Every structure is written in structure tokens, then in C-alpha cells.
Amino acid sequence: MMKQILIAGMIGLVLSLLGTPALIKLLAKRGYGQYIRDDGPKAHHSKRGTPTMGGIAFILATLIAYAATKVIAGESPTASGLLVLFLTAGLGLVGFLDDYIKVVKRRSLGLRAKAKLLGQSFVGLAFAILSLQFSDSRGLTPASQHLSFVRDFSWSVGPVLFVIWAYFMIAAMSNGVNLTDGLDGLATGASVMVFGAYVFIGVWEYGQSCAYALSATANCYDVRDPLDLAVVASALMGSCFGFLWWNTSPAKIFMGDTGSLALGGALAGLAICSRTEILLALLGGLFVIITLSVIIQVGSFRMTGKRVFKMAPLQHHFELKGWSEVLIVVRFWIIQGLCVAVGLGLFYAGWVTG
């Protein structure tokens, strides 16, 4: 099973690395270029016309990598793995419709707000409801009705509140990645780090699984398919690495809402199925910080009529302060790396003290 993690990552990397330039040519030929708002940073105007909807490349690479890995290994997919991929692809489809309307129909706002919310809600709620089904031989489902930090808390919130909580997580993370996707390579590189963390978490939870514990009181993890979640995370990480080769500054292609909504959904799905829901707020700390910058900006303007930042999301504030795009991206990657390091440290500490 450990070989599957390496295979999935390598296949995802190769497919994305080779498939993305083919997608760039196809999108450029059809004239599917990025729309750039006139009220944004002036440095972005030169990016107008750059092919978008690049999320198609790493979504397809991830799906093919996972399927190919299972065929090579001669094993069946797990419910947890399939559900995370469903959430990833489903939200990617919603983002694709949004991007398509922007670049093809030339409507700058894309999907109308109600239609976009309806699409996200359908996919998110379907995932949340289905994740409480498909019990294994130990009675474990892909998700549980318990909230979690580094493992489940002892008290249950019940199915209804869990579905609401899961939907909130999915909406918050998908929109958080969407807000972060404003500079070349920023969201892709940050996502790679979190997927790498979930490869480690999946492997660790498998090694300390309650299914193999010697006693019922052992410090173990009750997670349905931890190692297969690591396979999914590896496929996502490899695919994003391949895409980053073409997405880094100066970007030859943008992921668009197709990619950002999919990545956010993947992160939320991995957190829910690995029982690390609240920990995701730290592992994905950069996405949280950038989302908070928008909330602070909007709240301040509505309450006082004044803006806290020159522009929100936060990365554009530093652009208007004169920082170069590459400088912002690298420094934000450093922040994200620190968040992942602290998050994994707390995850390990939870096992040591648990």
C-alpha cells in the first residue's frame, strides 16, 4: 500500500507536467484568456489574455493517477478516497462553469451568486451526507458525527449539525483558496504543502490505527481509510507540483475558479475524513489569514467607511505597497510552510499526549 502513495504522486506529477502545456495550447487557440479587472493592481493588466481554467489539468491528472494506481495495485478504491475525489471534481465543475461564463460568454462576474452558491451547496451537502454512510467491518464511516482537532472529540454533534459543520468547512476552504489565487503560483504552492502534510497524516494514522492496536485503550486513530487518503493527497500533491511548473511567475496558465474551488474542496474533504477538521485551520493557515483580511476589510468599510488595507485580499495590499509579485509569493509560502510545520507538530503532540 505504501508503494501506491509513490505511484499516485509520480503519475499525477507526470500527467500534469506534460498535460498542462497541451491544455495551454488548446485554451490559447480558443481564446479562453483570463479577464483582469480594471480596478485591480496595474501590474496585473499585462496578464490579460493568459489562458485560464488550468485547474482542469491537475483535476484530471489526480483522477487518472488515483484510478491508475488502483489498477496497478490490483485493489479497489475506498469510500473515503472516492468521496474526497467526488468533492474535488464536483467543486471543480462548479468553478469551471463560472470560468466558462467569464471567458466565453464575456460576463465578468461569471456564474450569478445564487447559481454558484447552489452548485457549491449541492456538492458540499452531498459529500457531507454520503460521508456518514458506507460503514466498514468495524462500523466506521468516512466521516464521523464528532468534531475533531487531531482526532475526534468524545462528544457527538449528531448528523444534522455535522452536515452543517461539514458544509461550512467546505465553503470556507474552497472560498479561502479562491481568494488566495491572485498571484502566480501562490495558491498552488501553498496547497502542495498542505497536501504533503496530509500524506504524512494518512501514513501516521495508518501506522497507529485502532484496527491494529493491541488494546482498546491504546493511543490509536479510528479513521476508516487513512492510507488511501494519503494516496489521494499524494496524487493531488504530484498533480499540483506539475501544474506549478507552468503556473509559477510568469504564469503560462491560471487555475481559475475551476482549480481553486477544487483544491479547497480537496483540503476540506481530507480534513473531514482524517478527523483533523479544526487542525486544517492551522495547516491551511495562509488561506485563513487571507480570508480574514477580506472579512476585516469589508467589515471595517461597512462600519466606519474606512479601509484597513490598501486592497483586499492581503496579497494585493502588499502589491500596492510596492512589493514585487515574486517577493510576496515566496514570503507567503514561508508563512504557509511555518503553519504546516506547527500544525504537524501539534498533530504529533496530540499522539504523544493522547
Rounded Cα distance between 309 and 328, Å, is 15
Name the 3-class secondary structure at 66: helix
**Which residues fall within 8 angstroms of residue 155, CB to CB, at 6 or more apart?**
146
**Which residues fall within 8 angstroms of residue 35, CB to CB, at 6 or more apart?**
48, 102, 103, 106, 108
Evaluate whether 134 touches 248 at the Cβ level (below 8 Å): no
Q: Which residue has the cell 495590499?
A: 317
**Which residues fall within 8 angstroms of residue 326, CB to CB, at 6 or more apart?**
249
99 is in an annotated binding site: no
DSSP secondary structure code for residue 148 in this structure: E
DSSP secondary structure code for residue 51 in this structure: B
Beta-carbon-side half-sphere exposure of residue 60 (alpha carbons within 13 Å): 16
178 is in an annotated binding site: yes
Q: Which residues participate in the annotated binding site?
A: 178, 257
Q: Which residues are part of a known binding site for Mg(2+)?
A: 178, 257
